[in-house]
């Protein structure tokens, strides 16, 4: 049997380079060989404050980003999580076999609690159980996601193991499908690229001017120190971006300038912007084509979600029977 893959992205805005290199590149690689479902996880999106008036448009933007990036509806299914109600049913059933204390201890839950102290809702605590259900609904073996999702995948494996012990072998224990961009650094100098940190990201839909502007405010140093390249901080992150975009010649040139203590960061940023934009340009052209053809996108979604519901219902039939809910 073909291996199965599931991955999802929240509808919190346009995709940035972190999402692209950490997740979407992995999705593009696996769609060629495995049975894949790639989702916009709108039920996860609503666990933090959001605007119900713009949610469906935000979901649509991610779908357009997926299609423009090259996810091919002939090769994979594109799912909108809330259109497949089996996700929430499976999440509830799985929640009955997992301990609350473990969820309270997860770093992502603690971060969100600190970020939104007035909005510590049940959905937030439930988040990893719903994510486990997402993957398990399709019996996922591989999950193309960035390294930040590893704690959630550990929970998924624990839940799958527990279910199999209690009710008989049913689910694989999924593993992360890794990409070279599993951790894309922030442009703000420290931490990872993230939508919620202003100045940290470049969107896939940014034009050359915007990319240049965003890079211009990335921190560097005086450029006269020389010596070996730093391992962390703003300068290290700019070099990491060159590496992630496989701009080896540009990397070598500026590495030599750095070692010699005569690097000009404005030139490096200019060349990096060009390298990034060159990769994004075909994406942006394809995106326009899909934007101009909403009917085609609706058809893809209709067909894909119908197929997802069918597959999901097969798993649910098996799960309900095994849990004695017949």
265-291 vs 52-69: helix crossing angle, rounded to 10: 100
Sheet holding 35-40, edge to edge: 76-80, 35-40, 4-9, 142-144, 175-177
Looking at beta carbons only, is 65 or 316 nearer to ligand TYM?
Answer: 65
Near ligand TYM by CB under 6 A: residue from 30, 36, 40, 44: 44
The residues, ordered by sequence, that sit 6+ positions from 44 with a Cβ below 8 Å of its Cβ are 8, 10, 81, 127, 130, 131
The residue from 113, 192, 240, 322 that is catalytic is: 192
Here the tokens at position 183 are 């951790």
Positions in 152-171 near ligand TYM (CB under 6 A): 152
- Is 178 a residue of the active site? no
The span from the CA of 166 to the CA of 24, in Å, is: 35
| Least distance (Å) between residue 72 CB and ligand TYM | 19
CB of 286 to ligand TYM, least distance (A): 20
Single residue of 40, 90, 103, 143 touching ligand TYM by CB under 6 A: 143
36 phi/psi in degrees, rounded to 5: -125, 140
Kindly state whether residue 145 participates in binding ligand TYM, applying the rule CB under 6 A: yes
Q: Which stretch binds ligand TYM (CB under 6 A): 89-97, 127-135, 226-234, 258-266?
A: 127-135
Query: Near ligand TYM by CB under 6 A, which window of 118-126, 182-190, 254-262, 317-325?
Result: 182-190
Q: Could you identify the residue written with the tokens 């799912």?
A: 79
For 83, the enclosing helix (H) or strand (E) is none
What separation in angstroms does the CA of 61 have from each of 16, 66, 131, 180, 299? Answer: 12, 9, 21, 25, 16
- C-beta of 22 vs 234, nearer to ligand TYM: 22
Q: Which DSSP category does 48 fall into?
A: S
CA 104, CA 298: separation in Å to the nearest integer? 39
192 is catalytic: yes
Name the helix (H) or strand (E) containing 173: none
Q: Considering only residues 76, 131, 137, 244, which one is a binding residue for ligand TYM as defined by CB under 6 A?
A: 131
Q: Which of 34, 50, 183, 290 binds ligand TYM (CB under 6 A)?
A: 183
Query: For ligand TYM, which stretch binds (CB under 6 A), given 145-153, 215-223, 253-261, 317-325?
Result: 145-153
Whether 187 contacts 218, CB under 8 Å:
yes
The piece of 19-27, 99-107, 282-290, 312-320 that touches ligand TYM (CB under 6 A) is: 19-27
Q: Rule CB under 6 A: which residues touch ligand TYM?
A: 6-10, 18-19, 22-23, 41, 44, 131, 134-135, 143, 145-146, 148-149, 152, 181-184, 192-194
Question: Active-site positions?
Answer: 112, 192, 195
């Amino acid at each position: 049997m073909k291996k199965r893959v599931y991955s999802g992205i929240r509808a919190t805005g346009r995709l940035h380079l972190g999402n692209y290199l950490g997740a979407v590149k992995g999705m593009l690689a696996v769609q060629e060989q495995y049975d894949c479902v790639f989702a916009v996880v709108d039920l996860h999106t609503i666990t933090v404050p959001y605007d119900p008036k713009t949610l469906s448009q935000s979901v649509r933007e991610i779908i357009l980003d997926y299609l423009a990036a090259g996810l091919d509806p002939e090769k994979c299914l594109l799912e909108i999580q809330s259109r497949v109600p089996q996700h929430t049913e499976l999440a509830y059933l799985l929640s009955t076999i997992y301990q609350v204390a473990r969820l309270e201890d997860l770093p992502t839950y603690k971060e969100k609690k600190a970020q939104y102290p007035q909005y510590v809702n049940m959905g937030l605590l439930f988040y990893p159980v719903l994510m486990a259900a997402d993957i398990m609904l399709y019996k996922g073996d591989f999950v193309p996601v960035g390294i930040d999702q590893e704690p959630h995948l550990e929970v998924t494996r624990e839940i799958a193991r527990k279910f199999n012990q209690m009710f008989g072998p049913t689910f694989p224990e999924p593993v992360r499908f890794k990409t070279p961009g599993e951790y894309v650094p922030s442009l703000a100098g420290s931490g990872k690229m993230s939508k919620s940190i202003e100045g940290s990201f470049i969107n896939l839909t940014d034009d050359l001017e915007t990319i240049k502007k965003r890079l211009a405010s990335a921190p560097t140093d005086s450029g006269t120190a020389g010596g070996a390249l730093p391992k962390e901080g703003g300068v290290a992150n700019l070099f990491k971006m060159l590496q992630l975009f496989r701009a080896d010649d540009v990397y070598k040139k500026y590495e030599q300038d750095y070692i010699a203590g005569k690097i000009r960061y404005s030139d490096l940023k200019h060349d990096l912007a060009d390298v990034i934009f060159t990769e994004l340009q075909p994406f942006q052209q394809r995106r326009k084509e899909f934007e101009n053809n909403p009917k085609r996108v609706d058809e893809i979604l209709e067909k894909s979600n119908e197929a997802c519901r069918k597959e999901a219902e097969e798993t649910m039939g098996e799960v309900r029977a095994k849990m004695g809910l017949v």
